A and B are shown apart, each in its own frame.
Chain A
């Protein structure tokens, strides 16, 4: 960094880019795909629940169109629409996920920002967070966040794989076998969804707590002044 640039940076504090454009695009594609998959998946679940409990997802929170409109248009009560959404969304979710993981590993984003995550740091940060004492620094993830992101990545991976195994229990029968057979794979798929929803609740709550993270994920930078010493991080 030249002296002149340093002076300029001090005179006009430039917001630091936190998320490159590719990551922001992939984040929002993923967000849309996840909403489509959850909404349509909830409706599909309602037609024959995988869990042995007499309960379904409230109809207005499922995706697949209004009962009466769909009946009039397609002569179907809305399962067809939910399936169409689900099997369209799966391509978007899966391809976007693969791109994100590839770029995340290739660019060093995972290694730099999600590692290391030690159990000790996790417990320490979780304790602080639960007491509202954990500070939030843009662009740097605490141990709880890191663990959560790994958990979310794992949950999406398991949900995609178990989903493939119940979509194709013949063509991908080895995968179905790995999940303990068709019926158990359905339950695994449900649990993967539940984990993703759990992550979403925490993720959205934290975004509500620190709204500038939302700005950063849209604009790439937030109006937080940083003085990163030359040579450190970016």
Chain B
């Protein structure tokens, strides 16, 4: 192919090295513009929240009601499981078996409160699954307790309702979609590593959902309710994605 106007290779060296230096310097200056972060502008926030709502729908479509989270071997279980809350472990709510009652409300037929002994008497499901945090860390743990789905059926919850909400003794709150609540691996974990669930991990029970991120697994639960009104959640109200499925 002839006739192209070419850069003379002999000229390219000196001249272009200088041009190169100058232009990369201006590219460097351009990257400093990232200081003008638009993330918190009203319009941008609205678009981002709308995309998050879209992601809620996409994730609920992708969710398989009977698709099980991978399970692991006994030797994979992390013994020194990470304590995680927005306050130090010493400040965890210390609930006593004598006084504790699990309250039920919303679209549930039998709203009788449950004692720890009654919860412990229910048939248990044990799982060794991976807990994945929204920050990126993950740990394999062993949890056991009644299936939330069985419990909801037992108390006559409206299973056609959209949401199951939780309120916790530490002020934390959250909610999940009904299909996830009825998933066979969603349990009210009363044990961790075959021991009674320790105070720091949510005694008397935590909701363990291996198909969702860690923050969707509330601890120290004191109220379960069923509703069709979007209940939000502690982190969701701070901008985190609501469905947050794994």
A residues with a Cβ closer than 8 A to B are 39, 44-45, 47-50, 60-66, 69-70, 73-76, 78-81, 83-85, 87-88, 91, 132-133, 135-137, 140, 168-171, 173, 182-183, 186, 204-205, 207-211, 224-228, 232
Are A60 and B35 interface neighbours, CB within 8 A?
yes
Are A204 and B238 interface neighbours, CB within 8 A?
no
Residues of B within 8 A of A170 (CB): 67-70, 210-211, 245-246
Residues of A within 8 A of B235 (CB): 76, 80
Are B48 and A81 interface neighbours, CB within 8 A?
yes
Residues of A within 8 A of B238 (CB): 74-76, 80
| Interface status of B194 (Cβ within 8 A of chain A) | no
Residues of B within 8 A of A73 (CB): 40, 45
Do A208 and B246 contact each other (CB < 8 Å), given the known contacts A61-B31, A65-B39, A225-B5? no
**How many Å from the CB of A91 to the closest CB on chain B?**
7
Residues of A within 8 A of B245 (CB): 168, 170-171
Residues of A within 8 A of B130 (CB): 169, 182
Residues of A within 8 A of B37 (CB): 63-66
Pick the residue among B19, B39, B68 that contacts A63 (CB under 8 A): B39
**How many Å from the CB of A111 to the closest CB on chain B?**
18
Closest residue to A182 on the B side, CB-wise? B138
**How many Å from the CB of B183 to the closest CB on chain A?**
10
Closest residue to A137 on the B side, CB-wise? B4
Are A65 and B40 interface neighbours, CB within 8 A?
yes
Q: List 19 A-B contacts (CB under 8 A).
A: A48-B137, A64-B37, A74-B239, A78-B39, A81-B39, A83-B239, A84-B241, A87-B52, A87-B55, A88-B51, A132-B12, A136-B7, A170-B69, A171-B245, A208-B27, A209-B16, A209-B20, A228-B1, A232-B1
The size bracket of the interface on B is: 35 or more
Residues of B within 8 A of A60 (CB): 32, 34-35
Are A171 and B55 interface neighbours, CB within 8 A?
no
Closest residue to A189 on the B side, CB-wise? B136
| Interface status of B228 (Cβ within 8 A of chain A) | no
Residues of A within 8 A of B49 (CB): 84
Distance, CA A80 to CA B1, complexed state (A):
54
Q: Which of B6, B136, B241 has the most CB of A within 10 A?
A: B136
B1-41 contacts to A (CB < 8 Å) = 1-7, 9, 12-13, 16-17, 19-20, 23-24, 27, 31-32, 34-35, 37, 39-40
Distance, CA A45 to CA B135, complexed state (A):
8
